[in-house]
Amino acid sequence: MTTETAPVADKSDKGPEKQEETLGSFLWFVAKLVIAVLIFRSFIFSPFTIPSESMLPNLRNGDYLVAAKWPYGFSQYSLPGEPGLWEGRVFADLPERGDVAIFKHPVTGTDYVKRVIGLPGDTVAVREGVVILNGTPLPKEEAGFADIPMSENTGCRRDGGRVVDGTICRYRQFRETLPSGKSYMTIDFGPVGARLLDDGNGGFLLDPSGDPVRIDPDNTEAVVVPEGQLFMMGDNRDNSLDSRFPAVRGGGVGLVDADLLVGRASRVLWSTDGSAEWLLPWTWFSAARWNRIGSDI
């Protein structure tokens, strides 16, 4: 009696098909991941860095922020690479006074971060270091000192700060309060006097008569904020080129068009004192400002 055996399938025949299917699945997974990241960064949250001391004492050079992209609507600046697919903003909304907003510099397109002080229709001036909003001085109360640890990326302005124990820069700080009741800390060096304005090309701005333009940031003329624009100021009032100064390359920002808004600063995602070295991974942790990570803005 002969016993017949069923033919055994040759598994090697399905090898290339299975390999192609696996590669295709992986590439599709990568594509979906890239799309998800692009959507997240374009419309939900995106990281930004703080490269200067204009927002002391609340933000420091070396802070890495996460910014909410949806509060002010979406524009070409919301998308990576700024492809310019449309003009203006979709689902546009204005910031609230006191928001810390990220926007594009009107001349260079560089990311800037400042606090929103004036909305369209507001009148903004500064008198002896006090902000006058719609004819009323904003309350400015002394609030002790801001002690900022000095590091590779945080120096000390000797015209406004004082070095303590060789490691701390101490500034006078004040609490400023908006009509809404929102308050925040600011730094004020005291009277600094008028300064010449750089024209962004190695020279100085000139008035119609040919004389250099001087602006005293502690005393500015009243400005009515036009429709669709914003008046922005840094919290470090004597170390911030903001809407008190005309928009020039590497200088002030002037009145900022709302279409240049990118997002609202939300939280400090990471912070470093600047001492880390890429080739020494342990320094990534020793340089971290752990007490700032996760701080609300």
Q: Considering the domain boundaries, does residue 293 fall inside one?
A: no
Q: Considering the domain boundaries, does residue 239 fall inside one?
A: yes
Using the predicted structure, report yes or no on whether residue 85 has a pLDDT greater than 90. no
Tell me, what CATH number does 68's domain have? Answer: 2.10.109.10
pTM: 0.82
Enter the DSSP assignment of 239: S
Q: Give the confidence band of 241 by pLDDT, cuts at 50, 70, 90.
A: very high
Q: Considering the domain boundaries, does residue 33 fall inside one?
A: no
pLDDT at 1: 47
Q: Considering the domain boundaries, does residue 53 fall inside one?
A: yes
Q: Considering the domain boundaries, does residue 30 fall inside one?
A: no
Residue ranges making up the domain that contains 170: 38-286
Q: Considering the domain boundaries, does residue 292 fall inside one?
A: no
* Tens digit of each residue's pLDDT (9 = 90 or more) over 186-209: 999 988 777 777 766 766 666 666
**Looking at the 3D structure of the chain, how many domains does it have?**
1
User: How far apart are alpha carbons 125 and 218 in whole angstroms?
Assistant: 9
Q: Considering the domain boundaries, does residue 11 fall inside one?
A: no
* Tens digit of each residue's pLDDT (9 = 90 or more) over 152-181: 888 898 888 999 999 999 999 999 999 999
Q: Considering the domain boundaries, does residue 122 fall inside one?
A: yes
